[in-house]
Structure 1
Amino acid sequence: MSEADACRADVWLWRARFFKTRSMAARFVEEGRVRMTRQGQETRLDKPARTLKVGDQLVFALGGRLIAVAVEAFGDRRGPATEARGLYSTLDGG
């Protein structure tokens, strides 16, 4: 699996600007607070090193809001917010 095909969950959450630091993202994943759906199979992420692929759907609660997103890209860095928004698309809550 090449780096272009997958990305660590903690790195992606940090690059997508859901968390200020990568360690905060890693702690959030370790606590089992992120659910991932891949090809109809839902699992709870429990390790920050779990890989995400394009098309994976993530659901987690953050700041009192339920966030549901689909992974669209991985990015090469943690860029500005406009760049980060290109890494995911939001899913309707219905």
Structure 2
Amino acid sequence: MASKKVNSILFMIGASVFNILTLTILCLVFLVIFVLLLRGWAESEVVQIVVSLAFLGSLVLSFVIYQWALNLFSKKVDMDKYFLPWVIPKKK
């Protein structure tokens, strides 16, 4: 069995990859949806707003999905048993 430190590092890498993939996929999906809805409006201002909205929407939704997945994972796995604590209190 791997140590808690190795488990924690692997979990952080896996969670980061999951979050980046979720953000990328959602951003692409939102961009495709917006492009299909706004086919005739190719003005630069509209495109800038659409890209901004797609990115912000995917950022917020990926955070919500990440929190949901983390809560689901923590209910199924005993975090204290396999991982180091996220915040270590400072000794006085």
TM-score, normalising length: structure 2: 0.22
The structure that has the greater radius of gyration is: 2
| Higher helix residue share | 2
| Higher strand residue share | 1
